Structure 1
């Protein structure tokens, strides 16, 4: 039972459709992305803060390992991190209790990211980092600068490296869904996908258009498989 659960957890932790080459590319991209972000940011970042913030490590995982994710797109990375850091600064300047400020900053960051369509998980870490850093900030002006230097600067450099890296490696980024193939049965439409997602009531890390494309391709393969007339299949 333990081995079975361990194997299941291992499968669930890997995005569907991954290949070993993509894993190596993702690691290489993260290496280049974080290194260049750190080097370039160190030239411009405000001396009161680190030249690179920890949430960028999580942003790099999304950007280079799952670049098709809606959570890994440029606006999500730059907007999500920057806006969340700004929320963290605002909370840190108005709430003195550290525990309450920590929880409130992350909660409000989620709300702001959803409202601005910039949902990005590392944004929660950016908001929390702002709360942890700013009580020791040297001045109000330095605190107000934090969302821009280093957070926005880090995020922008990372995205630019990601765009170049994915272009060189032959992948589309920013990601856009391909045109869906025709449905063999003419029964599966986007409205069906949206209705099914609504019925399930959960949020999934995939664009509905990508999901439709995947399901239609699966339907085509299923139709081809079931209509084969080779002796082996008859057996």
Structure 2
């Protein structure tokens, strides 16, 4: 992750929280009610520092917070024991987020806040889902989309990263087309086992964003993928050997 990426991530998160604070102050119904949730701060870090991560995409952010808020309020209202209510809120929100393919860790904090957030949060009831949670989420996602659009190195949502990579590859292929043609006949695929730590580091740096994966994890993934491919290839070869070399045909007489 380059210094520019780090700086952009920090400024983006700071700007998003600033806008959230301003919008929350404008929407306050009383002088003591604070309509900015701490769990949104964690979401801001994920969205701006790890924009390519599956947990940072718009649907996990939106669905994770909204579903968790609903579950948290329900648990508080129907489970009298605070300990059990808190445990149920986090556990059920995790389960539902997994089912909904919108796993977003800060959502657990949103659910927990609905249970232990105090009188002001409890008095909101299901209004907590809409204000502050929905309001916070919409402002955060809108800010993220605008900032990531302005800074093209931060591709968000993730599908934009795939499109950018494809476009970059096409440009590189065009620029090096003549060189590639000259060496095409002599090219030999490089076995994954020969990749060095520098190769993996270069690959991570070329992503242009923080990737929550270690070199050892990458090596393990490549090794397992290679073994799986070999297993499938061997299985196909064995199946071909067991297939009769003749065809049996029948016809009506």
Q: Specify the TM-score bucket, using the shorter chain as the normaliser.
A: 0.5 to 0.7
User: Where in structure 2 are the equivalents of 1:8-157 lying within 5 Å?
Assistant: 18-45=1-28, 47=30, 49-133=33-117, 137=121, 139=123, 142-157=124-139
Q: Deviations over 1:57-107 (max 9, x none)?
A: 100110100000110111111111111011000000011111111111000
Alpha-carbon distance change, 42 to 29 in structure 1, aligned in 2, over 3 angstroms: same
Q: Quick check: 2:114–2:121 contact (8 Å CA) kept in 1? A: no
Q: Deviations over 1:97-142 (max 9, x none)?
A: 1111111100000011111111101000000001012655574xx2
Q: When you count helix as a share of all residues, which structure comes out higher?
A: 2
CA distance in 2, matches of 1:145, 1:153: 11
CA distance in 1, matches of 2:75, 2:8: 38
In our comparison, the structure showing a higher alpha carbon Rg is 2
Q: CA RMSD in A?
A: 3.0
Alpha-carbon distance change, 81 to 137 in structure 1, aligned in 2, over 3 angstroms: closer
TM-score with structure 1 setting the length: 0.66
CA distance in 2, matches of 1:55, 1:20: 26
Q: Quick check: 2:9–2:49 contact (8 Å CA) kept in 1? A: yes
CA distance in 2, matches of 1:93, 1:100: 12
TM-score with structure 2 setting the length: 0.61
CA distance in 1, matches of 2:28, 2:138: 13
Q: Which residue in the other structure is 2:181 paired with?
A: none
User: Unaligned stretches of 5+ in structure 1?
Assistant: 1-17, 189-203, 216-235
Alpha-carbon distance change, 99 to 85 in structure 1, aligned in 2, over 3 angstroms: same
Q: Quick check: 2:20–2:136 contact (8 Å CA) kept in 1? A: yes
Q: Across the two proteins, how many residue pairs are aligned to each other?
A: 174
User: Unaligned stretches of 5+ in structure 2?
Assistant: 170-187, 193-210, 223-253
Q: Quick check: 2:39–2:106 contact (8 Å CA) kept in 1? A: yes
Q: Quick check: 2:51–2:156 contact (8 Å CA) kept in 1? A: yes
